[in-house]
Amino acid sequence: MTLSSNWRKSKQALPKGVNLLAVSKGHSSQVIQQLAELGQIDFGESRLQDAVPKIQALSKMKTLSWHFIGPLQSNKVRGVVQNFSFIHSIDSESLAERVARIAGEEKRSIKNFLQVKFLKDPTKGGVNPHDLDHLVPKLLDLPNFNLIGLMTMAPFNCPLNERKNLFQECRRYADHFNLKECSMGMSSDWQEAVEAGTTWLRLGSRLFGKRKD
Ligand SMILES: *Cc1c(COP(=O)(O)O)cnc(C)c1O
């Protein structure tokens, strides 16, 4: 059984204060349950329609915490707010306002990350770092919206040494705004993210093995 050894190895490698988010997209509720039984609490999913059946199947495991990490379309916000505790992919002011309004209506308290795009990448969302000065104070003041940190992803072809700079930049912005959390680092660049001060590593294939995307 490699899942448990992958998980133990990953947990052991993490300094204190770095949380492990198990990215379970593409994997069944049975596999998620195996990991949950080892003690994993936080699971990440990137598509609402794939996640909801798994969340329902595992609803008896009360301690599990679900994180939405994919692109979030406005017509999916209510479903995400109803089913998830964290959103890592807030990438505009209007999306934040919508999440806040619906969280209020649904009486749900969601922890949110603002996704930032430090390098040009047409395949990914995220706000321009130059907009943070304007945006972060607004979101911190938004009722029913709990902004806990910044999230970023490196472009697909970004070399490892540049990833580290990018993660350090994200950490500096988060510190500047007194935001504790940084969601950064995936299976291929988790060490660079740890060195730069991530607090949430999002690991998929390193835990579960390769998936057919
Ligand atoms: C799929 C995904 C991950 C995990 O990727 P791995 O390379 O399998 O670790 C992390 N973050 C986001 C936003 C993802 O979509």
> Distance of alpha carbon 66 from its chain centroid, rounded?
10
In ligand 1, which atom is closest to the CA atom of 186?
A: 9
The confidence score (pLDDT) of residue 212 equals 62
Query: 7, 27 in Cβ contact below 8 A?
Result: no
- What's the gap in Å between 198 CA and the centre of ligand 1? 15
196 has pLDDT over 60: yes
- What's the gap in Å between 205 CA and the centre of ligand 1? 8
Beta bridge partners of 111: 86, 146
Binning pLDDT at 50, 70 and 90, where does residue 210 land? confident
Give the Cα separation of 140 and 149 in Å (integer): 10
| 203 CB within 6 A, ligand 1 | yes
pLDDT (tens digit per residue) in 126-139: 999 999 999 999 99
Residue 91 within a domain: yes
Identity at 4, one-letter amino acid code:
S
The confidence score (pLDDT) of residue 50 equals 98
The confidence score (pLDDT) of residue 74 equals 97
The confidence score (pLDDT) of residue 1 equals 55
Nearest CA to ligand 1 atom 7: 187
- What's the gap in Å between 139 CA and the centre of ligand 1? 25
Residue 120 within a domain: yes
Please report, to the nearest 10 degrees, the dihedral formed by the alpha carbons of residues 22, 28, 30, 32 taken in order.
10
**Domain encompassing residue 160:** 3-208
Among residues of the chain, what percentage have pLDDT more than 90? 93
Tokens of 130: 């130059």
DSSP E strand boundaries for 33-185: 42-45, 65-68, 86-90, 111-116, 146-152, 181-183
The confidence score (pLDDT) of residue 46 equals 98
Binning pLDDT at 50, 70 and 90, where does residue 213 land? low
Sorted by sequence, the CB contacts under 8 Å of residue 122 that are 6+ apart come out as none
Query: 66, 85 in Cβ contact below 8 A?
Result: yes
Measured CA to CA in angstroms, residue 110 lies from 56, 96, 113, 143 at distances of: 18, 11, 10, 12
Nearest CA to ligand 1 atom 5: 204
| 205 CB within 6 A, ligand 1 | yes
Q: What number is the average pLDDT over the span 188-205?
A: 97
pLDDT (tens digit per residue) in 19-49: 999 999 999 999 999 999 999 999 999 999 9
Tokens of 141: 């003041």
Residue 9 within a domain: yes
Residue 213 within a domain: no
Total number of domains in the chain: 1
The CATH number of the domain where 161 resides is what? 3.20.20.10
User: Which of 66, 69, 84, 200 is the pocket-test mutation for ligand 1 (most atoms within 8 Å of CB)?
Assistant: 69
pLDDT (tens digit per residue) in 55-99: 999 999 999 999 999 999 999 999 999 999 999 999 999 999 999
Residue matched to tokens 């995307």: 213
Sorted by sequence, the CB contacts under 8 Å of residue 31 that are 6+ apart come out as 3, 24, 208
| 72 CB within 6 A, ligand 1 | no
Residue 58 within a domain: yes
